[in-house]
Amino acid sequence: MTDQRERGSDAGQWASSGQIERDLVLTDADFARIRELIYQRAGIVLAEHKREMVYSRLAKRLRHHGMTRFTDYLSR
């Protein structure tokens, strides 16, 4: 079994409720904006079940740029 260090910094910590604790929050509004941008630029329709994929991919970029909010990243 791999530990969090081996999987990368994106791996969340499991809370006692079984939910992953996140260091960044992807709001519904941010996710809707991301979906719209992806559709406009690439013609790709991202379904709601792709939210975790979007979070994990973009969270890496936010951390790289020292950002704490998806809204700030989207405003760049």
Q: What class has domain 24-76? A: mainly alpha
Question: Mean pLDDT across the stretch 46-73?
Answer: 95
CB 61 within 8 A of CB 73: yes
In terms of pLDDT, which residue wins out, 32 or 15? 32
User: Residue 65, by phi and psi: left (phi above 0), alpha (psi -120 to 50) or beta?
Assistant: alpha
Q: How many residues does the chain have?
A: 76
What's the whole-model pTM score?
A: 0.70
CA-CA distance, 44 to 12, in Å (whole number)?
Answer: 27
Q: Tell me the chain's radius of gyration from C-alpha atoms.
A: 14
CB atoms within 10 A of CB 68: 12
Q: Tokens 């994990």, residue? A: 56
Q: Return the percentage of the chain with pLDDT > 70, whole number.
A: 72
**pLDDT digits 0-9 by tens, 25-49:** 999 999 999 999 999 999 999 999 9
Q: Residue 54 pLDDT > 70, yes or no?
A: yes
